[in-house]
A and B are shown apart, each in its own frame.
Chain A
Amino acid sequence: MWKELMTMPHVIFGVFGILFALWVAVEAANSSEANQRRLKLASIGTTLFLWLTYLIGGWWYVVYYGAAVSNSDKSIILAGPWKWSHSFFMETKEHIFFMLLFLSILLPIVTFRNQIFKDTKVRNLTIVIALTIVVLGLGMEGFGAMISKGIKMSLMGGK
């Protein structure tokens, strides 16, 4: 049961990371001296949740998903009709995620080391970084759905 339950935090923290990044974009778009604290809080939250997503998802991926046993998710997918849900969607997902980690480091650097409300260009940069996280994050969620569907297709015999 522990193994099955531990698939949830990866997804939940990922969604929180996306929501916090969206929050950063909104605060930055309406930035003033008054909302700098919220902006920084949201950017740190984005970083925290994306790294939790990475660490928990990475642990599950290495220990369970790709285990060299016949009933691991990877083995089940590769034995079924949607092999590409691993060979395309998982392979792509696990590597594009590193770009999210870069952005999760860059975001608080920009928000903590600049006065966003005083500089339109820096404000726009903050919005670009935050929205890029949102777009890539939503992509990761969609890719995750395709991977789950690949397992389902295998277990259902491709029907």
Chain B
Amino acid sequence: MGKRLENQPWDKFSVGFGLSFLIASIFNGLLIIAKESYDPLKSWMKSLSGHHWITHGIFVIVLFIFLGYIFSRTDIDKKIDADKISFLVIVGTIMGGLIIVGFFFKHLFE
């Protein structure tokens, strides 16, 4: 099994969308905190699609695709290798998950 040489460019989209995963996952958690803490925001999100969760989904998915595309247009593939993207995927999952779990955790004691 051949190994890729260090600092060789690899697929730009894999890097761009991998990096976007980290940011979109954190944004996803922060948007929950914002909309649950500030009713006008939640009402505004509801007014856009009929349900705040639908709008939430559209926002985060569009952000993920938009950032992934923007990052893919740069030379980021020369600076970040697949091992770093693996790390960012794990970090994004843990951070995004912990923000959400942490925010709703208090409800477990109701």
Residues of A within 8 A of B (CB): 54, 58, 61-62, 66, 83-84, 87-88, 91-92, 94-96, 98-99, 101-103, 105-106, 109-110, 113-114, 117-122, 124-125, 128-129, 132, 136
Contact = CB atoms under 8 A, between A and B. Distances in A.
Interface of B: 1-4, 10-11, 13-14, 17-18, 20-21, 24-25, 28-29, 32, 50-51, 53-54, 56-57, 60-61, 64-65, 68, 81-83, 85-86, 89-90, 92-93, 96-97, 100-101, 104-105, 107-110
Contacts of B107: 83-84, 87-88, 91
A128 B86 contact: yes
Contacts of A62: 50-51, 53-54
Given A88-B105, A95-B32, A125 B85 contact: yes
Given A88-B107, A98-B56, A124-B82, 5 more contacts: A101-B61, A110-B11, A114-B10, A122-B10, A128-B90
B17 A105 contact: yes
Given A119-B3, A124-B82, A106 B32 contact: no
A119 B64 CA distance: 26
B-side binding surface: helix, strand, loop or mixed?
helix
Nearest to A119: B4
Contacts, number: 124
B102 to A, nearest CB: 10
B104 A88 contact: yes
12 contacts: A83-B110, A87-B110, A91-B107, A99-B21, A99-B28, A103-B89, A106-B89, A110-B18, A121-B3, A122-B10, A125-B89, A129-B89
B110 A110 contact: no
Contacts of B51: 62, 66
A54 B4 CA distance: 36
Contacts of A84: 107-110
Contacts of A88: 104-105, 107-108
